[in-house]
A and B are shown apart, each in its own frame.
Chain A
Amino acid sequence: MTELDYYCYLRTLDAEPIEAPMLRDAMITFRYQMRLLLREPVWIVIVMIQPLLYLALFAPLLEPISRTPGFPPGNAWSVFVPGLLIQLGIFGSMFVGFGIIAEIRYGTVERMRVTPASRFGLLFGRVLRDTVVLLIQAALLTLIAVAFGLRVPLAGALITVGIVGLLGISLASLSYAAGLWLKSEDALAPLLNMVSVPVLLLSGILLPMTLAPRWLLRLSQANPFSHIVDGARAAFLNDFGNSSLVIGLVCAAALAALGLAVATRTFQRESA
């Protein structure tokens, strides 16, 4: 067999119909990125340390506060842990943009952009990796919280982890878009700080917004993350009839769709 024959043979192997090239490209990218991440698993652990510290060193402070008027239904754990999960969703995914800046520098992003691979696939494979890691972290965090004394129904916990997954899709996408757009760590870091602090403070993650004065409550209602936190708290109480759960889910899904749309457009743009 000559070399040429051999290539023709390889081509016939490749000729099997590809049904959804977009998802195929996403899975190829996912596996590639996951393998790279697992080579440095220490990062997965480092991201977990922060919420664990909150759980051990901050949650006990909530015990006395949970008896003050205005504190939402449920005990300190069932109010705080959902917020902590959302916080993990935000902080566990919003820094992935640094990774794409490194990839731009290596030239791997450009190399993949010259292939016929779908731009959505190249993006979504990366987002999927980040989301899978996040889901595992969220599940672990919930289990550890149970060991600390949290009581939560399974369905509610699963829904909350699902919400965290949607948040991961949204924020990882937006972070990639910002990284592709800014192309510099020095520009991305202040941007993320500028966004994350008000989002965190106005979300009721640390302390429920029901304790807030009226103006602060109003302000927080403009922040979609506060609705997502409310939704997660309702889920933790298995309060499925509660409208705040539906609103929270809708907010999370809308943010995920928005993030993917923005990031796909950024990936398609020529200079990205």
Chain B
Amino acid sequence: MIEARGLARTFRSRRNTVEAVRGIDLEVDRGEIVGLLGPNGAGKTTTQRMLATLLVPTAGEATVAGCDLRRDPIGVRRQLGYVSQAGGTNPAAKVDEELVTQAQLYGMTRGAARERARQLRELLDLAELGDRVIKTLSGGQRRRLDIALGLMHDPKLVFLDEPSTGLDPQTRANLWTHIRALRDQRDGTILLTTHYLEEADALCDRILIIDAGKIVASGTPAELKRRISGDLVTFEVDDVARAQDLLRGRPEARDVTVVERGLRITVDRGETCALPLMRVLDDAGVKVGSLHIAHPSLDDVFLTLTGRSLRDAPAA
């Protein structure tokens, strides 16, 4: 659905030059939810805006939905639904005015646009709000309207820029359900940006971690966590010294450290390694009081890759 090579963008102003994106390669397949995860200013939005034909790349090539980004921007626009971070509705307009006008700009007739607006309102819990003036909507309703606007022409590829910013946790979870439905029921492809770890973790099939304008890692949330940090298996044992000797020799134990009343072992996959390790202890007569498996968070991954925590990154 998307293939980009060496995509870069430099912003120049009188005083300074900012390399917002410094050469990004990415591939997104049909039916995937792919997340660009990174702190503010990492280049997520710039990347997305380039792929959406809103910014001309300083360097690089890309094909989006089968159309060349530079040679056929109109082809890209025709097939892409784009929902920007701030949304894009006139507070004085009515919900259906925005929806119908949007669809008409994609070439739909007025009748078809009305019908489509009605369906999408139903789908996104805006059913009764067609005649409402937009400034009277709640934040969650307005965000869902932004998304409805991006879906009016039934695009197979949708870009969402920070889809859940400013939403309460419940509305956010609800939004995720809608985004998943887009993939599952319509074979849609979604490229979203986020700086919420929970969102990337819960929603994305694949994550591209982006920092200072470059992709520093990519994979499924589970792969990323495994590859970079490994899982932590913690045993509570009665004889720490003996257990340590026994487990140090095991090939799957990458690291063994003594913690309070027990041992912490770093392994590739906690679920498959924990029981064999416990059996080793058991066979040798070491009593295991408890077993705990911990997966690293995406924040641990980000910390390992960049030396910074995503949570500490300044808010927008």
A residues neighboring B (CB under 8 Å): 3, 7, 10, 13-14, 16, 18, 21, 25, 28-29, 31-32, 35-36, 39-40, 103, 106-117, 270-271
Query: CB within 8 Å of A: which of B141-191?
Result: 149, 154, 185
Decide: A111 near B154, CB < 8 A? Known: A10-B116, A13-B109, A116-B77: no
Q: How large is the interface on B (under 10, 10 to 19, 20 to 34, 35 or more residues)?
A: 35 or more
CA distance A35 to B98 in the complex (A): 11
A26 CB to nearest chain B CB (Å):
11
CA distance A112 to B152 in the complex (A): 13
Query: CB within 8 Å of A: which of B66-124?
Result: 74, 77-78, 80, 82, 84, 86-93, 97, 101-102, 104-109, 111-112, 115-116
In the complex, are the beta carbons of A18 and B84 less than 8 A apart?
no
CA distance A21 to B108 in the complex (A): 12
Q: Is B309 an interface residue (CB 8 A)?
A: no
Decide: A32 near B56, CB < 8 A? Known: A21-B107, A103-B90: no
**Chain A's interface: helix, strand, loop or mixed, by majority?**
helix
Decide: A106 near B53, CB < 8 A? Known: A10-B116, A13-B109, A25-B105: no
Rank and list the top 10 A-B pairs by shortest CB-CB distance, nearest first: A111-B88, A107-B88, A117-B105, A115-B105, A32-B101, A114-B82, A116-B77, A28-B104, A116-B78, A10-B112
In the complex, are the beta carbons of A107 and B107 less than 8 A apart?
no
Decide: A116 near B107, CB < 8 A? Known: A10-B116, A28-B101: yes
B216 CB to nearest chain A CB (Å):
27
A198 CB to nearest chain B CB (Å):
28
Decide: A115 near B102, CB < 8 A? Known: A21-B107, A110-B54, A270-B54: yes
CA distance A39 to B92 in the complex (A): 8
Picked from B74, B91, B105, B154, the residue with its CB within 8 Å of the CB of A7 is B154
B171 CB to nearest chain A CB (Å):
20
Closest residue of chain B to A111, judged by CB?
B88
